[in-house]
Structure 1
Amino acid sequence: MMKFDDLLAEVNGFGRFQWRIMLMLVIPRLILPFHFLQNNFAAFIPSHHCNISAFDEGDVFRDLSSEEKLIVSIPVEEDGSFSSCQMFAEPQYHLLLNSSNTTMLPTVHCQNGWVYDTSIMKSTLATEWDLVCERKRLNKSTATIFFLGVMFGAAVIGHLSDRFGRKIMLLVSYLITSIFGFASALSSSYVMLAVMRFLTGFGASGVSIVSVVLSIEWADIKHRSSLLILLSMDWSFGGVLLGALAYLVNDWRYLMATSTSPLLPALIYWWWIPESARWLVSQGKIHPAYFYLSKCAKVNGRKQFMDDLKPEDLLKITALENENKKYSLLDLVRTPKLRRLTAIAGTVWFGVACSYYGISLNVSGFGLNIFVTQLMYGFSEVPAKIFCLFSINKFGRKFNQSGGLLLTGLCLFCNVIIPPDMAAFRTAVAAIGKMFSEAAFTVLYLYTTELYPTVLRQNGFGFCSFLARLGVAVSPLVALLEEVWVGLPRLLFSMMASGVGLLTILLPETNNTRLPETIEDVEQSKRLASTSTTNAPP
């Protein structure tokens, strides 16, 4: 019996038609790095100190220089910098003569707000609503709130995509992200911003997972990995563009609006994006599937093959069990192999995402300019993906996945022991770690789509993405542990990356195998176990 992959190979599974799909998805996918990494700039906390303008009422105070006003008003930290959250209860003029000891002087929390250094970012969430000092955790939580939206979006949109189709849910994702992305920029309070960011994340999740699955389901076996890696390049270049964009825009409201704008042209040309013929066949929708396959064959110069094929012949391509059955997330754990697969894959997704964003959301933690660090992070991912492009078929998915995670863990551990005064070296090691982490993340997207059958692919992908976004949501909270010990977050991220790198070994290899179509393909076929052996690295 002919499989769908055989049919796709006949109409050319990596021709002009597939390139056209990929190019149409690249522009809207730029919003992913823009929004996912936006907190590096929108929630940036600049240098700040208490507003001491209330002391200006005294004649002596008014005659002091700016530096002298700070000396008599703000206590000094151990590193010699002025305190960000404390001020003297009243001016201490004697400090102009001897400012060496301020520990015994009475201090109070900032009484009249803060003064911020706007030389890096003119406006951020921290400067807009004073999210510093005791409110600093609210500033950090904006990333967590966004990724909670991404997490729930992955589960909901993933399920609906398996039920109603890839194309319609792609449009829904575009609309949700556009509406609430622009609304975020117009937020008048922190609470409103939190709600808008949650809903933006909900929609952005669909843009991510639906576009990946739609692309993979139109690619043949031989070119699946190449197509996904090329598609994922938009994330790396988007990361570079984000650094430049934040530098030019320099205001959190304009940055959020600009980050959402790539969806506007995508909403216009969405009509020309084809539905997944593989999904249509799995749902028994033969005539729409035949229409899109004929279109693919025509564009790829294989029209004659489809002319010889009748719509009814598509029924013979694959025998799906219970064609009219509606599948849900529960089907991921009903059978033994799928249950084991889901448990392992979900854990790996959690660890990969948490450690990846542990690096990505820390552009200010290594001592260099945040715009330069973001550019370095973006550029570092390109060689990783080029390497994956050539190694993923030669050495297999498992080797690249596990190796990338173990090397990520090593780089993160190195940054725990490298002295803080070696800022440039620490940033370089972090960028290398991010390169390996991005390589692992890229492989994982392809790996997961190959592990799950067509009837549950979007459900499985959505569930894994749900756990990944849970990991991302936890990542900023883990970063708060630097208040206990500055190296603790990096140590935890290192252990997490290394742990799931070892866990990946338990997954089956999928290199050069057909995509499973049904649950029975996963449960009854022995190809997964045998493929793991035949494609192991030499």
Structure 2
Amino acid sequence: MSEDAIEKVIGRFGRYQTFVLILLMVGRLPTEFELSNVVFLLPNTDYTCLDDGVQNATNYCPCESPDFDTSTILSSVTSEFGLVCKRKTLSSLAQSMLQVGIAVGSLFYGHISDRYGRKRAVVLALFCSSIFATLSTFSTKLWMFILFRFLSGTAVGGTMLCCFVMIIELSGKSFRPYGMGLIESAYVIAYFFLPIIAYYAREWRDLQKITSMPWLVVFVYYWLIPESPRWLITVGKKKEAVDVLTRIAKRNNRLTENIEIIVDQIEEQSLSKDQEHRSGSYLDLFRTPRIRVYSIITPFVWAICAFTFFGINQYIGRLGGNMYLNVALSAISLAPSPGLTVIASLYLRRKVTVITCFSITALSLLLFLIIPKSMEGVILAFALLGQIGAFSAFVLIYLYTTEIFPTVIRNSAMGMCSVFGRIGGIAAPFVVNIGIEWVSILIISVLAFSAAISCWFLPETKNIILMNSIEQTENASNQNDRDCKK
């Protein structure tokens, strides 16, 4: 399979795919804001205790009547619901519920996408991401905010997963690295503009409305974006696949005469004759030997990706100074990552690139143990380098996973992996807050190295055609093994 038949029909990435990419990047912005806004919604805010007999002590516990500092943030979830002292654990709960929601949403939307189509899953996730964030601004009780935080997380998980797969499946094999970098640049853009918006919208309800309510119009995407032709072919919807490919080809000024013949060839080469296996499920991730191995390794690697990225963010978040400036500087440090991952994907093998990113992260953190504490600038530089490595690994593992698994179970695999990624993200703060810095750093570094080693057991996927069926993936793996023995 040296030639991508879909790319032959619609091009590697023409004007129509560019149009879809822009729509998805814009539609994803509420999701990216939700991933980053916790520092402004649930900050650690200083307060003066006004309880009788306390004499206006600062940050005193226990305290029933805290008077919060409003010099930086006028109103936050922390100040409105008094999340200090014993209630501070509720702040942690509100933060973690987003990650729990992302795990649930990844499974739910992964199943919806593989069973009912990419387009339906994408539009539903984008719309729910906006509406749940908007509804959270009407919370009058903390439990209401926590509930909407969880629901927002489910939509965030679906958006991250389904938008990425949609772009990859609309791309030719030679454009996949570019699509990966471009779609993930939406996170960096939102991360950079968030502190600017928050600087002027210093009440948490206003911030949430500004970063979510305008995007409620994304429901019109249902009539603007196509269904994935690869998914349509996989589930046996030949006529719909021909119609979609014809429409895209016309928009890209390409020939349309032989599209039906090409679709017939793809269907004959890649699809199971057994109708039962034309739609995948999570059980299919463990039915066959090769995919079973991939389904064990990739979730572990995803968990370490999230663990290292959010763990390093914990350290950077402890920096002193202006919080708006610190968030902006962190975003700027990530700006080169999408471009670097594209370059690496073009000129290096997938395994080498992912392993290199994990190794850079691990080595950068280990250097923390030997750099004198007085060299704050050097420590910050290595922290940012480790963050770049972890973020790049995160971006690359999305692409790598979509290439490893076939179309019929691709979103199910991504959903399962994303769940493990959320587990890593939830675990990171607990390790960082152990209280002994060198222990925390050593744990993160060792796990980053273990993820790098695990990647050696995954197949190389650079320049391959996206597989459609489980049988095709198993046969391709066996062929690779025979080639390696020669």
Deviates more, 1:344-353 or 1:218-227: 218-227
Helix, strand or coil at the partner of 1:45: coil
Does residue 485 (structure 1) correspond to residue 436 (structure 2)? The answer is yes
Amino acid at match of 1:466: V
Q: Match for 2:188 among 236, 247, 253?
A: 236
Give the deviation of 1:291 after TM superposition: 0.7
Name stretches of at least 5 consecutive residues in structure 2 with no aligned partner. Answer: none
Name 1:391's counterpart in structure 2. Answer: 344
Helix, strand or coil at the partner of 1:400: helix
1:341-360 to 2 correspondence within 5 Å?
Answer: 341-360=294-313
Q: Match for 1:156 among 86, 104, 108?
A: 108
- Conserved 8 A contact 1:297-1:303: yes
TM-score with structure 1 setting the length: 0.83
Helix, strand or coil at the partner of 1:49: strand
Helix, strand or coil at the partner of 1:186: coil
- Conserved 8 A contact 1:376-1:431: no
Name 1:336's counterpart in structure 2. Answer: 289
Name stretches of at least 5 consecutive residues in structure 1 with no aligned partner. Answer: 56-69, 75-82, 87-108
CA distance in 1, matches of 2:346, 2:484: 14
CA distance in 2, matches of 1:507, 1:47: 48
Give the deviation of 1:153 after TM superposition: 0.7
> Structure 1 pair 310/341, CA: closer, same or farther in 2 (3 Å)?
closer
Does residue 319 (structure 1) correspond to residue 271 (structure 2)? The answer is yes
Does residue 473 (structure 1) correspond to residue 448 (structure 2)? The answer is no
- Post-superposition CA distance 1:3-58 (Å, at most 9, x none): 98223224312111211111110101112221011112211112223225x46xxx
Name 1:508's counterpart in structure 2. Answer: 459
Amino acid at match of 1:145: M
Name 1:28's counterpart in structure 2. Answer: 27
- Conserved 8 A contact 2:131-2:212: no
Amino acid at match of 2:121: M
> Structure 1 pair 315/519, CA: closer, same or farther in 2 (3 Å)?
closer
Does residue 499 (structure 1) correspond to residue 450 (structure 2)? The answer is yes
Name 1:50's counterpart in structure 2. Answer: 49
CA distance in 1, matches of 2:408, 2:185: 28
Amino acid at match of 1:30: L
Deviates more, 1:156-165 or 1:112-121: 112-121
> Structure 1 pair 298/246, CA: closer, same or farther in 2 (3 Å)?
same
Name 2:60's counterpart in structure 1. Answer: 85
- Post-superposition CA distance 1:151-188 (Å, at most 9, x none): 01101110121000011111221232233211111111
Helix, strand or coil at the partner of 2:67: strand
- Post-superposition CA distance 1:253-282 (Å, at most 9, x none): 222222223532322333110000000000
CA distance in 2, matches of 1:282, 1:511: 22
Task: Say which one has the larger Rg.
Answer: 1
Give the deviation of 1:365 after TM superposition: 0.8
> Structure 1 pair 142/84, CA: closer, same or farther in 2 (3 Å)?
same
Name 1:522's counterpart in structure 2. Answer: 473
> Structure 1 pair 533/220, CA: closer, same or farther in 2 (3 Å)?
farther
- Conserved 8 A contact 1:155-1:466: yes
TM-score with structure 2 setting the length: 0.92
Amino acid at match of 1:177: S
Amino acid at match of 2:49: C
Does residue 428 (structure 1) correspond to residue 372 (structure 2)? The answer is no
Name 1:278's counterpart in structure 2. Answer: 230
Name 1:456's counterpart in structure 2. Answer: 409
Deviates more, 1:163-172 or 1:247-256: 247-256
Give the deviation of 1:487 after TM superposition: 5.3
Helix, strand or coil at the partner of 2:335: helix
Amino acid at match of 1:26: M
Name 1:246's counterpart in structure 2. Answer: 198
CA distance in 2, matches of 1:487, 1:126: 31
Name 1:296's counterpart in structure 2. Answer: 248
CA distance in 2, matches of 1:318, 1:343: 24
- Conserved 8 A contact 1:11-1:302: yes
Helix, strand or coil at the partner of 1:463: helix
Name 2:76's counterpart in structure 1. Answer: 124
CA distance in 2, matches of 1:381, 1:458: 27
CA distance in 2, matches of 1:282, 1:317: 11
> Structure 1 pair 471/294, CA: closer, same or farther in 2 (3 Å)?
same
> Structure 1 pair 351/73, CA: closer, same or farther in 2 (3 Å)?
same
- Conserved 8 A contact 1:510-1:528: no
Number of equivalenced pairs: 484
- Conserved 8 A contact 1:37-1:360: no
Give the deviation of 1:500 after TM superposition: 1.2
> Structure 1 pair 184/73, CA: closer, same or farther in 2 (3 Å)?
closer
Name 1:40's counterpart in structure 2. Answer: 39
Deviates more, 1:414-423 or 1:348-357: 414-423
Deviates more, 1:282-291 or 1:404-413: 404-413
CA distance in 2, matches of 1:530, 1:368: 55
CA distance in 2, matches of 1:532, 1:211: 35
CA distance in 2, matches of 1:200, 1:458: 20
Amino acid at match of 2:78: A
Helix, strand or coil at the partner of 2:22: helix
CA distance in 1, matches of 2:357, 2:100: 26
Name 1:145's counterpart in structure 2. Answer: 97
- Post-superposition CA distance 1:86-135 (Å, at most 9, x none): 4xxxxxxxxxxxxxxxxxxxxxx33x422222222222222122212333
Give the deviation of 1:322 after TM superposition: 2.1
Name 2:212's counterpart in structure 1. Answer: 260
> Structure 1 pair 379/73, CA: closer, same or farther in 2 (3 Å)?
closer
RMSD: 2.6
What fraction of aligned residue pairs are identical, expressed as a percent? Answer: 28
Helix, strand or coil at the partner of 1:221: coil
Give the deviation of 1:248 after TM superposition: 1.9
> Structure 1 pair 528/469, CA: closer, same or farther in 2 (3 Å)?
farther
Give the deviation of 1:402 after TM superposition: 1.1
Give the deviation of 1:210 after TM superposition: 0.6
CA distance in 1, matches of 2:393, 2:483: 18
CA distance in 2, matches of 1:457, 1:43: 35
CA distance in 2, matches of 1:244, 1:138: 27
- Conserved 8 A contact 1:510-1:532: no
Helix, strand or coil at the partner of 2:127: helix
- Post-superposition CA distance 1:438-475 (Å, at most 9, x none): 11111111000000011111111111111111222223
Name 2:6's counterpart in structure 1. Answer: 7
CA distance in 2, matches of 1:310, 1:391: 32
- Conserved 8 A contact 1:150-1:201: yes
> Structure 1 pair 424/227, CA: closer, same or farther in 2 (3 Å)?
same
CA distance in 2, matches of 1:47, 1:487: 28
> Structure 1 pair 268/531, CA: closer, same or farther in 2 (3 Å)?
farther
Give the deviation of 1:389 after TM superposition: 1.5
Give the deviation of 1:369 after TM superposition: 2.3
Give the deviation of 1:405 after TM superposition: 1.3
